[in-house]
Structure 1
Amino acid sequence: MSSDGSRRGSDDVQGAGFGGLLRRHRRDAGLSQEGLAELAGLSVDAIAALERGRRRAPRAHTLRLLADALRLNSAERTQLTATARNDSESPQPVLRRPPAPPNELIGRTVELTAAKRLLGQRITRLLTLTGPGGIGKTRLTMAVASELSEDFPDGVCWVPLASLTDAEGVAPAVAASIGLHPLDTTRLAEEIAEQIGQRTLLLAFDNCSHVVSNVGQVCAALLESCPNLSILASSRELLRVPGENVYVVPPLSLPPDEDQAELSAAVRLFVDRASARGYDPTGQLEQVARVVRRLEGMPLAIELAAARTNVMTIEELAGELETSFGILAGGDRTASPRQQSMRGAIEWSHDLLTPAERDVFAQLSVFVGGWTLSAAAMVMSGEDAPGPVARAEALDLTGRLVDKSLIRVTRHGGVARYYMLAVIREFAADRLQATASVDEAVSRHAHFYIGLAEQAERELRGASQEEWLERLQSELDNLRAAMAWALQTRSVSEALRLSGALWLFCYLRGHYAEGSLWLERSLALSPSTEDATPALAKANLGAGMLAFLQCEYDVATTRLETALTQYKELKDTAGTALVLQRLGGVARERGDYRTAEDLHCQSYDLFENLGDQSGMSWAHNQLGFVAWLRGDLDVGARRCGRARDSFRKLGDGEGLAWSLISLGAIAQYKGELVDAEALLQESLALSQRLGYREGVAWSLNQLGIVERRRGLTERAVHLLDESLAEHRDLGDRWRSASVLEELAAVAQQRERSEYAAFLLGAADGVREVIQAPVPQVEKADYLATRRAVEESLDRQAFRAAWSAGRAAPLAAVADGYPVQHPAPDPDRSRYL
């Protein structure tokens, strides 16, 4: 070869770089890539990557292996090494940076800190931020990626995938973001891995949901080949690759109460975005709190709602959202269609579902406030008792929807519950309405909860009472939906079964008015001429009991006497005994202690004939209650003590609470205040744990009397006020009147005679309406208070304050609102 030719060849080699020089030496040696790889102890892929320039800066050891295999002389070795060094010092491709945020990130301090810790400290190499559309995944991903720039010396690279229409475009998108533009795309994933190599780099994949399978494949391959690579991904669906760590992005925090609305991230976001639209809502935070609670802290929904403040008041906005989320549209023009409305955001996820997933998604919208796996299995399968196959299918499909962020999961007390955010449920319900199976799904839902209520009814008198009360409370919205279905479809049997099964729960958890309404409407569906049935008798019993608890004594008596007749027709001794016990309660509150005692004795005899220990214990307790109310404290103590011991053995929380209340009241009327306080504190703690509101109200009432007797009037006022508010909310006017009289006694002790007269008048007005006298055991204190008040005031002042109290609504008195009466300062706090 001529000297000119040799020079041209050298120039060509230098222009081609290390890869070209290596290729020339290999060819001069007469070797294929496979042959060189075998002689050097390297892989064929490594040789190909070096020759094509996909892999830069080979290590010194690799250079020696290549030079030895090619049998290069000293000058050729030096040239090869220098060329490799020149290539390694050439500029790296420019990475695509995370986009600059358009506005302030609000309320994500906890999430940002957690994500930064997981990635920055290399706790995980793959972190997926997941959640439903509109939860703020992209915005959080941008913030995390930006703040981690110092933790990754070789940079943070942003890989946007939202605009992809073809899943095969994932790898090219990654290549473009890292500055790689290969001519050959057949081995693109390998080329990307070669480009990244040993670099300490963070790849941030945004909007993976619609290409999630391909994203998962690319991520798995890169993580395996690139040991210093970390990946952050935002996706509505999990990637499901080895090593994935999932962070479920929660909604923004909601206001803890009305006085702390400004501390809520959801409120702050609404205020910020509304202010950006030219409207400052800081003076209406109570209404803002109402809006963000309805939107459950969903950032996109809050931003879309805030945008509507340019044409609506916040009150109008809140009212509109109570009925529909349809106004949540009109987002930024530059946003993708799925970010311009909540419907678009949810529809995007819905379109990615399989047909089976779409069907289940729609069916699950029949649930209100969440559901369990058992409930889902029945609604999906239509089986009364879904077997293992049906449950497994329900679990699989539910799990898929959880992974796609359309369903959320909570875990409490060893039970997993599933629910949809309200905006998602509305979309799913619209889909269900468009199908022919809507009536069937709603019917299945109702029948599941009828069965659940009947099962719970059997457990509410035993050791599992607390567990079943909590279970029914967690399902209250579903029970209401089932009740609405039964009434709307005029399904007489189902309405009676459900309302009859729930009355005891309604009593224990204080849903007196709602339970009464259900029972009365269910009974109204039943023809009056229909023969007695267990369901009818139970419904009349429940209606009578709940009317009695609200001091509607005439209604209660009518319903209970009807139930008594029906139970006797049915020859149901237990039902008969229970009704007699409830009729005894009516007589007791009306002050007819002899009749009450007679009815409770009859009830006891029937329960004894049945060998019903629970019924006998309740009869003992009721007889003890009558005894201490009429002032026979010793008899009351014996009976209630026996009941307490029995209730402890039976595990009946309600019964135990009541017997403790009675024993505590007896002790305080005997002047044994230390014992009284201990008993009442025990009943209060038990009632609070059970959520037994009547027990809470009574315990507070009696504890207030204990503190008054000790002269601790400030503490007494606090306890009695709480008791009054609770009794008023329950609708128990009989007990409310007694608490008002106790508050009057405290007011008089504080020398607030005019206000004491006002309270006594309020109590008298209540008693006149319900036709119930002051209980015998309370009369001494009542008369002492009234006498002291009358002696402290002239007749005119007393009558004026008394009359003002009689005219004041109980709600106003119980809530402590200012009321009109002759005192110079009508604010009750001045008197207490």
Structure 2
Amino acid sequence: MSSDGSRRGSDDVQGAGFGGLLRRHRREAGLSQEGLAELAGLSVDAIAALERGRRRAPRAHTLRLLADALRLNSAERTQLTTSARKDTDSPQPVLRRPPAAPNELIGRTTELTATRRLLGQRITRLLTLTGPGGVGKTRLTMALATELASDYPDGVAWVPLDSLTDAAAVAPEVAASIGLADSGRLIEEIAEQIGQRSMLLVFDNCSHVVAAVGQVCAALLEACPNLAILASSRELLRVAGESVYVVPSLVLPPDEDQAETSAAVRLFVERATARGYDPTGQLEQVTRVVRRLEGMPLAIELAAARTNVMTIEELAGELETSFGILAGGSRTASPRQQSMHGAIEWSHDLLTAAERDVFAQLSVFVGGWSLNAAATVMSGQTAPGPAERADALDLTGRLADKSLIRVTRHRGVARYYMLAVIREYAADRLVANGSADEASRRHADFYVALAEQAERELRGANQEEWLDRLQGELDNLRAAMAWALQTRSVSAALRLSGALWLFCYLRGHYAEGGQWLERALALADAESVADAAASAKANLGAGMLAFLQCEYDVATTRLETARAQYEELGDVAGRALVMQRLGGVARERGDYRAAEDLHCMSYDLYESLGDQNGMSWAHNHLGFVAWLRGDLDIAARRCGRARDSFRRLGDGEGLAWSLISLGAIAQYRGELVEAEGLLQESLALSQRLGYREGVAWSLNQLGIVERRRGLTERAVHLLDESLAEHRDLGDRWRSASVLEELAAVAQQRGRSEYAAFLLGAADGVREVIQAPVPEVEKRDYQGTRSAIEESLDRRVFRTAWSAGRSAPLAAVADGYPPQNNAPDPDRSRYL
């Protein structure tokens, strides 16, 4: 450099700090920040931070690299070093650092990555970590603040608000955290102290002073351009520019086989082990516990602490009925961290009176709710208007902002729910304020109306949507039904169970739906309540669900009662539907002539009403009877006509059934390629609808197709799945046919004893339900039995057959066993 340049540098250093001097030398050298960074081997950010005063204490090595890159002479080097020392010697405020973590942070890798990106890449200057008490906001905030330290040259300051009782103390706490003494104009002093510095302020536990925190943050963000703020709060700050990250619960195991990979399970195991009890050998029970606690870290830690006096099994059982045992946290923790009750109570105490009232009322919902449902319960009106919906939305939003309820979105619809531990606390408040009975009545009224609306939609083009909607509300429907039965509300019980029987059939809730109907009818008898229309529908539904479980005598009694009631009411559509269901009973009992007569009568009644859907169902049932008795041509015409009609009408259930029938007809004709195509279409449709009977039947017939092709391994897989579905549904008639098909496969694979065992099991089932082998299946059945008898000694055959007859269906349906493995000791000799 020239002597003139040296002189100018000497003059400049008198009035400029290190950053200004460095900038002048760089410009005189004709370098950009990027150019100097490249020559010195430093980052561009480091050069910018030094020039702007964001980094005031360059190390000696850094000074030497800069001087060499700028080609400074001896005097200029001394000036640069002196300037750096002067800046370094300036008194720097002492920041309160984030507290050190007491133990390992488990299962937050995803959360740390997402939040660090938001602040580290300056995507936002204000990030609020929110969530309910006990979800681990403070622990995540501590870890995040530590990880971000290197991204903020002027440091990270921790502002703990946990112990504050006065909102006015927020600003002094901030001042103390950045090393600033209190003064009369504190916010301005804090802003001036931070100035242009690049630093991170971390506010922990803001909820109880959230308004004051919001005001301080807004002022500092406006005055300090290089400042970033991280906050943990159960409630949003509601400051311009705020980004929100909802801290989720820990990941739960998808199944018991993957328990070890679950963060929730790992946390429980680590904390229990720290208390002197290692539960690694009981991960199935640990999984049960953490699922019940929905992955809430504080709840898991409190539960793990109880392993010093309880077994995991006892702990899991206790949690099924109450969360009261979730207490006894660290003595040094705040009261709200020593129990789940304390954590939730602290949030509850911050609510307004209106918010507390709504919070309690919403506890009547089980498994979530919609805005309409909330508005009904809150207002008491069966059809809430815009004003009531607006109130519900406002109060729901407030509780969501305070992390007491959560929001999910699916198919364009928002849905709300409470974590189980929060709901239990809210339910206690509802009982305490004497509003539980009224809230439960409003809840039941809403779901009775919803079920009746859904009933009208389940035979049309919106069938899938409404099936999914009812399935999503199943826990609420159960709660409404339980309330109606407990309070002996006959009308609600009959209307609700009667409206839901079709849903229970389509989604496979045969036993539960049947119990609802039987209990509602018994209640009506006991209370001597006469509601002919509701009673007729309930008898029809009870008869249908009993029929599906092969309780033919019960089904016939209920259906005949419904027929008489519908005749008295003059309800032609009701009579037609009863005839259809009675035809099903006759069909499974092997009385094909009676079944045809009943389905023909049903068709005539539907035709008199001009009911195209009913007529299509009559065609389909007549085709079903025809192929079961072996009249395949007639069956094909009937079912083909039904299929075309169901496609036009948008009846998914009907279309699935007609495809199953056509597929079965094709496979009995030996047209296996066509059969497979039809059955795969019915399987896909049934799976999409959640129509379990359709799934089970499709798998059954596909298994027969593969068995006919000689693909026995594939056949076993399909038939096993079908048997499991039919068994779970309670359909013993079809279970027997699937067992007979599995026997045919076993015989083809040279396992004659096991085949005899399966035939015996099927025979035992048929004897109990008094239903013969369908006519169309008899040829295959006789062929299988003859082949088995020819390959086995008579005594061996009878022993295996008898063992099958005495085995419970649940044991037989555990799955086709591998060749050399015997999962069930009762049938091991036949494997």
User: Does the 8 Å CA contact 1:532/1:566 hold for their aligned counterparts?
Assistant: no
Structure 1 residue 719 displacement after superposition: 0.4
Q: What do residues 344-376 of structure 1 show as CA deviations (whole Å, max 9, x unaligned)? A: 000000000000000000000000000000000
Which amino acid letter does the alignment assign opposite residue 653 of structure 2? E
Query: Could you say if the C-alpha distance between residues 510 and 565 of structure 1 is closer, same or farther in structure 2, counting changes exceeding 3 Å?
Result: same
Alignment of 1:432-581 (within 5 A): 432-527=430-525, 533-581=532-580
Distance in 2, Cα, partners of 1:825 & 1:726: 19
In the alignment, which residue of structure 2 is the partner of 1:606?
Answer: 605
Which amino acid letter does the alignment assign opposite residue 180 of structure 1? L
Distance in 1, Cα, partners of 2:532 & 2:412: 38
Distance in 1, Cα, partners of 2:169 & 2:264: 37
Structure 1 residue 83 displacement after superposition: 12
Distance in 2, Cα, partners of 1:797 & 1:178: 89
Distance in 1, Cα, partners of 2:531 & 2:108: 61
User: Does the 8 Å CA contact 1:665/1:702 hold for their aligned counterparts?
Assistant: yes
Query: Could you say if the C-alpha distance between residues 532 and 377 of structure 1 is closer, same or farther in structure 2, counting changes exceeding 3 Å?
Result: closer
User: Does the 8 Å CA contact 1:381/1:390 hold for their aligned counterparts?
Assistant: yes
In the alignment, which residue of structure 1 is the partner of 2:741?
Answer: 742
Q: Which residue, 214, 225, 234 being the options, matches 1:216?
A: 214
User: Does the 8 Å CA contact 1:56/1:87 hold for their aligned counterparts?
Assistant: no
User: Does the 8 Å CA contact 2:135/2:248 hold for their aligned counterparts?
Assistant: yes
Distance in 2, Cα, partners of 1:234 & 1:201: 17
In the alignment, which residue of structure 2 is the partner of 1:50?
Answer: none
1:178 has 2:178 as partner: yes
Structure 1 residue 816 displacement after superposition: 3.3
Structure 1 residue 532 displacement after superposition: 6.1
Query: Could you say if the C-alpha distance between residues 827 and 390 of structure 1 is closer, same or farther in structure 2, counting changes exceeding 3 Å?
Result: same
Distance in 1, Cα, partners of 2:636 & 2:680: 18
Secondary structure of the residue aligned to 1:158 is: strand
List, as ranges, runs of 4+ consecutive aligned residues in structure 1 with deviation greater than 4 Å: 82-89, 528-532, 822-832
Query: Could you say if the C-alpha distance between residues 828 and 705 of structure 1 is closer, same or farther in structure 2, counting changes exceeding 3 Å?
Result: farther
1:131 has 2:145 as partner: no
Structure 1 residue 527 displacement after superposition: 2.7
Structure 1 residue 436 displacement after superposition: 2.3
Q: Which residue, 416, 419, 425 being the options, matches 1:418?
A: 416
Secondary structure of the residue aligned to 1:202 is: strand
User: Does the 8 Å CA contact 1:817/1:827 hold for their aligned counterparts?
Assistant: no
- 5+ residue gaps in structure 1? 1-17, 19-54, 58-81
Structure 1 residue 393 displacement after superposition: 0.3
Secondary structure of the residue aligned to 1:159 is: strand
User: Does the 8 Å CA contact 2:559/2:581 hold for their aligned counterparts?
Assistant: yes
Secondary structure of the residue aligned to 1:411 is: strand
User: Does the 8 Å CA contact 1:129/1:141 hold for their aligned counterparts?
Assistant: yes
In the alignment, which residue of structure 1 is the partner of 2:400?
Answer: 402
In the alignment, which residue of structure 1 is the partner of 2:148?
Answer: 148
Distance in 2, Cα, partners of 1:500 & 1:827: 42
Structure 1 residue 781 displacement after superposition: 0.3
Structure 1 residue 680 displacement after superposition: 0.4
Distance in 1, Cα, partners of 2:816 & 2:701: 24
In the alignment, which residue of structure 2 is the partner of 1:427?
Answer: 425
In the alignment, which residue of structure 1 is the partner of 2:65?
Answer: none
Secondary structure of the residue aligned to 1:418 is: strand
Distance in 1, Cα, partners of 2:177 & 2:530: 79
Distance in 1, Cα, partners of 2:426 & 2:810: 41
Distance in 1, Cα, partners of 2:232 & 2:710: 63
**Could you say what the CA RMSD is over the residues aligned between the two structures, in angstroms?**
2.1
User: Does the 8 Å CA contact 2:55/2:154 hold for their aligned counterparts?
Assistant: no
User: Does the 8 Å CA contact 2:556/2:585 hold for their aligned counterparts?
Assistant: yes
**Identical columns (%):** 85
In the alignment, which residue of structure 1 is the partner of 2:750?
Answer: 751
Secondary structure of the residue aligned to 1:165 is: coil
Distance in 2, Cα, partners of 1:748 & 1:647: 39
Q: What do residues 719-772 of structure 1 show as CA deviations (whole Å, max 9, x unaligned)? A: 000000000000000000000000000000000000000000000000000000
In the alignment, which residue of structure 2 is the partner of 1:366?
Answer: 364
Distance in 2, Cα, partners of 1:83 & 1:250: 49
In the alignment, which residue of structure 2 is the partner of 1:275?
Answer: 273
In the alignment, which residue of structure 2 is the partner of 1:122?
Answer: 122
Distance in 2, Cα, partners of 1:459 & 1:438: 32
Number of residue pairs aligned between Structure 1 and Structure 2: 752
Q: What do residues 781-808 of structure 1 show as CA deviations (whole Å, max 9, x unaligned)? A: 0000000000000100000000000000
In the alignment, which residue of structure 2 is the partner of 1:694?
Answer: 693
Distance in 2, Cα, partners of 1:154 & 1:435: 52
Query: Could you say if the C-alpha distance between residues 628 and 288 of structure 1 is closer, same or farther in structure 2, counting changes exceeding 3 Å?
Result: same
Which amino acid letter does the alignment assign opposite residue 544 of structure 2? M
Distance in 1, Cα, partners of 2:198 & 2:506: 61
User: Does the 8 Å CA contact 2:149/2:155 hold for their aligned counterparts?
Assistant: yes
Distance in 2, Cα, partners of 1:327 & 1:658: 51
Distance in 2, Cα, partners of 1:166 & 1:397: 26
Query: Could you say if the C-alpha distance between residues 798 and 308 of structure 1 is closer, same or farther in structure 2, counting changes exceeding 3 Å?
Result: same
Q: What do residues 503-541 of structure 1 show as CA deviations (whole Å, max 9, x unaligned)? A: 000000000000000000000011387656110000000
Which amino acid letter does the alignment assign opposite residue 727 of structure 2? R
In the alignment, which residue of structure 2 is the partner of 1:356?
Answer: 354
In the alignment, which residue of structure 1 is the partner of 2:164?
Answer: 164
Distance in 1, Cα, partners of 2:195 & 2:720: 71
Structure 1 residue 258 displacement after superposition: 1.1
Which amino acid letter does the alignment assign opposite residue 519 of structure 2? R
Structure 1 residue 823 displacement after superposition: 10
User: Does the 8 Å CA contact 2:55/2:153 hold for their aligned counterparts?
Assistant: no
Which amino acid letter does the alignment assign opposite residue 477 of structure 2? L
Q: What do residues 297-336 of structure 1 show as CA deviations (whole Å, max 9, x unaligned)? A: 0000000000000000000000000000000000000000
TM-score under structure 2 normalisation?
A: 0.88
Which amino acid letter does the alignment assign opposite residue 641 of structure 2? R
User: Does the 8 Å CA contact 1:56/1:88 hold for their aligned counterparts?
Assistant: no
Query: Could you say if the C-alpha distance between residues 136 and 788 of structure 1 is closer, same or farther in structure 2, counting changes exceeding 3 Å?
Result: same
Query: Could you say if the C-alpha distance between residues 280 and 608 of structure 1 is closer, same or farther in structure 2, counting changes exceeding 3 Å?
Result: same
User: Does the 8 Å CA contact 1:152/1:201 hold for their aligned counterparts?
Assistant: yes
Distance in 1, Cα, partners of 2:698 & 2:397: 45
Which amino acid letter does the alignment assign opposite residue 165 of structure 1? T
TM-score under structure 1 normalisation?
A: 0.88
In the alignment, which residue of structure 2 is the partner of 1:28?
Answer: none
Structure 1 residue 187 displacement after superposition: 1.4
Secondary structure of the residue aligned to 2:638 is: helix
Structure 1 residue 88 displacement after superposition: 8.0
In the alignment, which residue of structure 2 is the partner of 1:619?
Answer: 618
Alignment of 1:699-738 (within 5 A): 699-738=698-737
Distance in 2, Cα, partners of 1:759 & 1:769: 16
Which amino acid letter does the alignment assign opposite residue 525 of structure 2? P
Distance in 2, Cα, partners of 1:568 & 1:621: 25
User: Does the 8 Å CA contact 1:747/1:831 hold for their aligned counterparts?
Assistant: no
Q: What do residues 3-30 of structure 1 show as CA deviations (whole Å, max 9, x unaligned)? A: xxxxxxxxxxxxxxx9xxxxxxxxxxxx
In the alignment, which residue of structure 2 is the partner of 1:10?
Answer: none
- 5+ residue gaps in structure 2? 1-16, 18-53, 57-81
Structure 1 residue 438 displacement after superposition: 1.6
Secondary structure of the residue aligned to 1:527 is: helix
1:591 has 2:590 as partner: yes
Structure 1 residue 465 displacement after superposition: 0.2
Query: Could you say if the C-alpha distance between residues 301 and 534 of structure 1 is closer, same or farther in structure 2, counting changes exceeding 3 Å?
Result: same
In the alignment, which residue of structure 2 is the partner of 1:15?
Answer: none
Distance in 1, Cα, partners of 2:529 & 2:780: 50
In the alignment, which residue of structure 2 is the partner of 1:98?
Answer: 98
User: Does the 8 Å CA contact 1:604/1:615 hold for their aligned counterparts?
Assistant: yes
Alignment of 1:663-678 (within 5 A): 663-678=662-677
Which amino acid letter does the alignment assign opposite residue 375 of structure 1? A
In the alignment, which residue of structure 2 is the partner of 1:60?
Answer: none
Structure 1 residue 91 displacement after superposition: 2.5
In the alignment, which residue of structure 2 is the partner of 1:766?
Answer: 765
Distance in 1, Cα, partners of 2:816 & 2:108: 40
Distance in 1, Cα, partners of 2:265 & 2:750: 46
User: Does the 8 Å CA contact 1:754/1:823 hold for their aligned counterparts?
Assistant: no
Q: What do residues 262-284 of structure 1 show as CA deviations (whole Å, max 9, x unaligned)? A: 11100000000000000000000
